Chains A and B, each alone.
Chain A
Amino acid sequence: MNFLNPLALLAALLAVPIILLYLLRLQRREQPVSSTLLWRQVIMDREANTLWQKLRRNLLLLLQLFTLLFLVFALIRPYVNVQSQLSGKLIVLLDTSASMLATDVAPSRFEAARAEALKLIDQLGNNDQMTLIAVDDAPRILSTTTNDASQLRASLNDIAPTLTTANWSAAISLAAGLGGEGTTTIVISDGANAGDMQLLQGAARYIPIGSSGDNIAISTLSLRRTVRGLSAFVRVSNNGAQDDSVLVSLKADGNLIDARTLAVPAGQSATWTINAMDPAITTLQASIDQAEHNTLAADDQAYAVNVNNTMRRALLLTRGNRFLEQAMSTLPNLRTTRAVALPPASEQTYDLYVLDNMTVTLPANANALIIGAQTVFSTSGTFSNTAYVRTETHPIVQDLDWRTINVLDIQRVNAPATLRPVILTQGGPALLAGEGVPMRNLTQLRRAVVLPFELRRSDLPLQIAFPILMANVVDYLAPPQGLSVPTQVRPGEIVALPEGAVVQPPGQSPVAVDARGFANTNTAGIYGFRLNTSAASDAMNSGAFAVNFLNPIESAITPNPQLQVGNATTNATVQTQLTQREFWNVMAVLALLLLIAEWWVYQRGVPARLASLGQTAQPAPSTPASTK
């Protein structure tokens, strides 16, 4: 044992005044009494207790001296050198991926990993520092580099594993950024799916978690329309090393419709196809209800949404434009019909019309993208000064960068007041949009977007901006329906719902979506949503999407106890180092306890009549407290 502050030993000299005061106090005051007759009898009664009386008087002194001793001991800051496996600057990478939810070690791999991390925190020496990093798909620093064990513990208590895959390369980059000379990186993980850990710089250590790889997972659930109705396809994978027989159930809209026991050999999968289901069902849930060798519950459920596919129909009026046709064919939920003339009015109408330099009289209240303005609006010549000036705020230019686009010349449109410029060049507008736009023939278009130049006279179709523009324009002219939202979402993925939409996560209260989209997809399940657009019908306004674990990488939970991290493997000899461990706080607590004990002993010995002493003429006796 050594001391950091031996000079504080001088405080032990305080024992001298304590003892002196004590001795002074012991000089008894003479008190005349009429007779000691009765007092002597009292003493005879107490003879048996005399030892205790003496002891107690000395007990107070002893307690005071011990209190001082412990205080001095705390002040000189004693420490012992302990053999610590780790010291210096530590970076702890704590795996919080989905495989850590496995329960092959009780209560779960994650809790075991957390316990390991807590152990490391407890081992921290006075000069050691630790950084905690939680590793899931987006690794993040839980606590900055610190020696504060309570802060580390608190941040460790705040985390929970997610349903995502660990992004080890990002975590290693993060650790490399934080690391430096003398840094030790500690990986606490099950080692499943962590292949690139050798990239870790500097000293590294791996604490393996997990004992078994037994896991049965639903790896696929898909819904398909057939002529006979809906078909569902379920694939169950056995990621473990033992054959298993698995009871799988299928629920439609919460009602059990079928269940089957599947034999799944080790390392293989079994499939199950359910045909001729009611096409009216909206949600489907497959779950593993019973399996012998299954330690991960997160992948035992899968969800699917039956989307009532109402396509948007577009009429492309062109004499032939490969770029346009290509761009429109790739857009989801859009069925494009190509024509060179408007079909007779008796035929079906279209959700939107695309006029590619064609002179056509569009029906009233149509939605149209008009390329080459002179066909619909009056124009007054062209301008070639097409350098980009600015972009107005409008949905059709979302994520669009016009600066790299060159246009040879642009028609000057005599635009109606409702048709507003969206992209301005030095010569005039290069893109216009508006609602309730009257055409030359005074028929009103409901929504119109005007590109007042021929596509072939610009490099727009060659730019990345073109498909973005087309997607925005189509969504603007025929507003997004429930269907434009993906039906399958991974946990943690952001769903690009428009602002104002309301999402109903499973088992939670509804959430309004802000401009950044809906990001709280951490729980698997069916998420209902409702768009907050008043124009379209309810069917087009609401829908659902399924957040599914369905992650073959994380379902393979076989732990890897021999993972190579950095230059060392786990079974390489761990070098032990000496760390200073202080324990002044223990001494301080002991001193406090002794002080309390001394006060208690004193209180027991002194009658509560102390107050009344002030009234009688008896001088107050010296108290032990006064000797401090």
Chain B
Amino acid sequence: MLSEAFLRSLRNLRLNPLRRRSGSLTGERRSVRRGRSVEFADYRNYTPGDDPRRVDWNIYARLERPYIKLFEDEEDLTTHILLDSSPSMQWQDEDEDTPYKWRRAAELAVALGYIALASGDKLVVETNGRAGIQHFGPRRGGAAMAELIKFVEGLMNTSSTRIPANVPAMGKPAMPLNDWFKRYALKAKPGLCIIISDLLDEGGYEEGLTALGSSRLDLHVLHTLCPAELDPQLIGDLKLKDIETNRTQDLSLDDAVMAQYRQRLSEWTAAITNFARRRGGRYHLTDTSLPMEQILLKDLRRETWLV
């Protein structure tokens, strides 16, 4: 799915929450709660900036490499990844070279999950595929990585077969985003919540995001749109068919209409940005045709999602 080398390049990255949260596990982050850690949980690599008091000097003496000891009852961070796998996410450009939306979204989920696990955070992944809500975690530690990959590959095998453009779309639409988000918000523990979605839902996204935001979750909206949505190359008199709802729409496309579409798109993304920011969250619009390196190592780091 993702190459070993690419995953290695992610090792030193950490998710950067907007606020300090109190977690139930000892993590590398300072907790708002003061307390002592007693129960050993795991080791992890020392990274510059870590408190040297927490280095396990015995291990250092043996291996001559610094490791940090992790203990329960100390602060940690739960990372929630909500991976939208609704039919609109399954959309594929006709251009074979472009990885389709869903594949790129799944890869992003794996990569971000890997970063979270590698930095000792607790990871929860949930999708709302056709087969219903599927859940992974909560898990922590490097050992969970293989399970995560297995989970996502399982998703791809069941729900992510590519939808040819001319085939009427899949049957029942997935649970609407709002319902899913609201339901998740009820049970979610505070932490960092990454939403990987195109947000193309008839019912909108606002209520769901509001519910997530008010559950003490740091909203990170990773908006995935493919080139066919960002800059559609359509022309003439067409009957547009929504593969998610099977609704059709007659439209005569010319320059003026295309300009209007682009205008609408930018207004829409701007509205989501504002919405997320007002709820103390982050928003990043990504083109799914971009390479993973570009998205993770450049774009998300520039926007300080990752440090």
- A and B are interacting partners: yes
Please list the residues of chain A having a beta carbon within 8 angstroms of any beta carbon in chain B: 25-26, 28-43, 45-46, 53, 57, 605-610, 612-613, 616-618, 621-622
Is there an interface contact between A34 and B261, defined as CB atoms closer than 8 Å? no
Is there an interface contact between B234 and A618, defined as CB atoms closer than 8 Å? yes
Q: Considering the chains assembled together, what is the distance between the CA atoms of A383 and B142 in angstroms?
A: 153
Partner of B235, one of A33, A42, A621: A621
- A46: B residues at CB distance < 8 A: 257, 260
Partner of B243, one of A33, A43, A618, A622: A33
Find the B residue at minimum CB distance from A34. Answer: B91
Is there an interface contact between B229 and A28, defined as CB atoms closer than 8 Å? no
- B260: A residues at CB distance < 8 A: 42, 45-46
- A38: B residues at CB distance < 8 A: 200, 229, 261, 264-265, 268
A to B CB contacts below 8 Å, 20 in the list: A32-B165, A32-B243, A35-B198, A35-B244, A36-B241, A40-B249, A41-B264, A45-B264, A46-B260, A57-B237, A605-B254, A606-B235, A606-B255, A607-B254, A607-B255, A608-B255, A609-B255, A618-B234, A618-B235, A621-B235
Partner of B254, one of A28, A43, A606: A606
- A621: B residues at CB distance < 8 A: 235-237
| Chain B CB within 10 Å, residue with most, of A26, A37, A41, A621 | A37
Is there an interface contact between B233 and A612, defined as CB atoms closer than 8 Å? yes
- The answer to whether the Cβ of B258 comes within 8 Å of any Cβ in the partner chain is yes
Is there an interface contact between A32 and B261, defined as CB atoms closer than 8 Å? no
Is there an interface contact between B248 and A30, defined as CB atoms closer than 8 Å? yes
Q: Mark B218-234, 1 if CB is under 8 A from A, else 0.
A: 00000000101100111
Taking CB atoms and an 8 Å cut-off, the chain B residues in 245-275 that contact chain A are 245, 247-252, 254-255, 257-258, 260-261, 264-265, 268
- B251: A residues at CB distance < 8 A: 39, 42-43
Q: Considering the chains assembled together, what is the distance between the CA atoms of A42 and B258 in angstroms?
A: 9
Beyond A31-B239, A42-B257, A607-B258, is A618–B88 a contact (Cβ under 8 Å)?
A: no
- The answer to whether the Cβ of B202 comes within 8 Å of any Cβ in the partner chain is yes
- B255: A residues at CB distance < 8 A: 605-609
| Chain A CB within 10 Å, residue with most, of B94, B234, B261, B265 | B234
- A607: B residues at CB distance < 8 A: 235, 254-255, 258
- The answer to whether the Cβ of B293 comes within 8 Å of any Cβ in the partner chain is no
- The answer to whether the Cβ of B95 comes within 8 Å of any Cβ in the partner chain is yes
Is there an interface contact between A39 and B240, defined as CB atoms closer than 8 Å? yes
| Chain A CB within 10 Å, residue with most, of B167, B202, B235 | B235
- B185: A residues at CB distance < 8 A: none
Smallest CB separation, A61 vs chain B (Å): 13
Beyond A35-B200, A43-B251, is A29–B238 a contact (Cβ under 8 Å)?
A: yes
- B237: A residues at CB distance < 8 A: 25-26, 28-29, 57, 621
Is there an interface contact between B254 and A31, defined as CB atoms closer than 8 Å? no
Partner of A30, one of B169, B239, B264: B239
Q: Considering the chains assembled together, what is the distance between the CA atoms of A616 and B165 in angstroms?
A: 14
Leading 8 A-B pairs by shortest Cβ distance: A621-B236, A34-B91, A35-B200, A607-B255, A28-B239, A36-B242, A34-B88, A31-B238
Smallest CB separation, B255 vs chain A (Å): 4
Q: Mark B181-216, 1 if CB is under 8 A from A, else 0.
A: 000000000000000001011100000000000000
Find the A residue at minimum CB distance from B238. Answer: A31
Smallest CB separation, B275 vs chain A (Å): 16
| Chain B CB within 10 Å, residue with most, of A36, A53, A605, A613 | A36
Is there an interface contact between A617 and B95, defined as CB atoms closer than 8 Å? yes
Smallest CB separation, B155 vs chain A (Å): 19
Q: Considering the chains assembled together, what is the distance between the CA atoms of A618 and B232 in angstroms?
A: 11
Find the B residue at minimum CB distance from A44. Answer: B264
Smallest CB separation, B50 vs chain A (Å): 44
- B200: A residues at CB distance < 8 A: 34-35, 37-38
Is there an interface contact between B94 and A617, defined as CB atoms closer than 8 Å? yes
- B9: A residues at CB distance < 8 A: none
- The answer to whether the Cβ of B166 comes within 8 Å of any Cβ in the partner chain is yes
Find the A residue at minimum CB distance from B165. Answer: A32
Find the B residue at minimum CB distance from A33. Answer: B240
Q: Considering the chains assembled together, what is the distance between the CA atoms of A437 and B255 in angstroms?
A: 103
Beyond A34-B200, A607-B235, A617-B95, is A28–B250 a contact (Cβ under 8 Å)?
A: yes
Q: Mark B122-160, 1 if CB is under 8 A from A, else 0.
A: 000000000000000000000000000000000000000
| Chain A CB within 10 Å, residue with most, of B229, B247, B251, B261 | B251
Q: Considering the chains assembled together, what is the distance between the CA atoms of A77 and B85 in angstroms?
A: 69
Is there an interface contact between B261 and A42, defined as CB atoms closer than 8 Å? yes
Q: Considering the chains assembled together, what is the distance between the CA atoms of A30 and B251 in angstroms?
A: 10
Is there an interface contact between A32 and B241, defined as CB atoms closer than 8 Å? yes
- B243: A residues at CB distance < 8 A: 32-35
Is there an interface contact between B258 and A33, defined as CB atoms closer than 8 Å? no
- B245: A residues at CB distance < 8 A: 36
Is there an interface contact between A30 and B236, defined as CB atoms closer than 8 Å? no
Smallest CB separation, A622 vs chain B (Å): 7
Beyond A40-B249, A46-B257, A605-B254, is A32–B233 a contact (Cβ under 8 Å)?
A: no
- B202: A residues at CB distance < 8 A: 37
- B166: A residues at CB distance < 8 A: 30, 32
- B249: A residues at CB distance < 8 A: 36, 39-40, 43
Find the B residue at minimum CB distance from A38. Answer: B264
Q: Mark B169-188, 1 if CB is under 8 A from A, else 0.
A: 10000000000000000000
Partner of A609, one of B198, B235, B239, B241: B235
Is there an interface contact between B235 and A622, defined as CB atoms closer than 8 Å? no
Q: Considering the chains assembled together, what is the distance between the CA atoms of A567 and B287 in angstroms?
A: 96
Smallest CB separation, B236 vs chain A (Å): 3
Find the A residue at minimum CB distance from B198. Answer: A34
Smallest CB separation, B208 vs chain A (Å): 15
Q: Considering the chains assembled together, what is the distance between the CA atoms of A524 and B217 in angstroms?
A: 110
Smallest CB separation, B221 vs chain A (Å): 17
Q: Considering the chains assembled together, what is the distance between the CA atoms of A178 and B39 in angstroms?
A: 131
New contact pairs (17) apart from A31-B234, A37-B242, A46-B257, CB-CB < 8 Å: A31-B240, A32-B243, A33-B228, A33-B243, A34-B91, A35-B198, A38-B261, A38-B268, A41-B268, A42-B261, A42-B264, A606-B235, A606-B255, A608-B255, A616-B94, A618-B233, A621-B235
Is there an interface contact between B88 and A35, defined as CB atoms closer than 8 Å? yes
Is there an interface contact between B261 and A613, defined as CB atoms closer than 8 Å? no
Is there an interface contact between A34 and B238, defined as CB atoms closer than 8 Å? no
- A32: B residues at CB distance < 8 A: 165-167, 169, 240-241, 243
- A34: B residues at CB distance < 8 A: 88-89, 91, 101, 198, 200, 226, 228-229, 242-244
Q: Considering the chains assembled together, what is the distance between the CA atoms of A607 and B254 in angstroms?
A: 6
Smallest CB separation, A366 vs chain B (Å): 104
Q: Considering the chains assembled together, what is the distance between the CA atoms of A508 and B225 in angstroms?
A: 85
Q: Considering the chains assembled together, what is the distance between the CA atoms of A40 and B165 in angstroms?
A: 20
Find the A residue at minimum CB distance from B247. Answer: A36
- B268: A residues at CB distance < 8 A: 38, 41
- A35: B residues at CB distance < 8 A: 88, 91, 198, 200, 229, 242-244
Q: Considering the chains assembled together, what is the distance between the CA atoms of A34 and B91 in angstroms?
A: 5
- A605: B residues at CB distance < 8 A: 254-255
Smallest CB separation, B28 vs chain A (Å): 39
Is there an interface contact between A39 and B261, defined as CB atoms closer than 8 Å? yes
Q: Considering the chains assembled together, what is the distance between the CA atoms of A262 and B240 in angstroms?
A: 99
Q: Considering the chains assembled together, what is the distance between the CA atoms of A30 and B264 in angstroms?
A: 22
Q: Considering the chains assembled together, what is the distance between the CA atoms of A40 and B245 in angstroms?
A: 13
Is there an interface contact between A31 and B252, defined as CB atoms closer than 8 Å? no
Smallest CB separation, B140 vs chain A (Å): 35
Smallest CB separation, A141 vs chain B (Å): 62
Q: Considering the chains assembled together, what is the distance between the CA atoms of A36 and B251 in angstroms?
A: 11
- A43: B residues at CB distance < 8 A: 249, 251
Q: Considering the chains assembled together, what is the distance between the CA atoms of A480 and B11 in angstroms?
A: 123
Smallest CB separation, A273 vs chain B (Å): 90
- A613: B residues at CB distance < 8 A: 233, 235
Smallest CB separation, A615 vs chain B (Å): 9
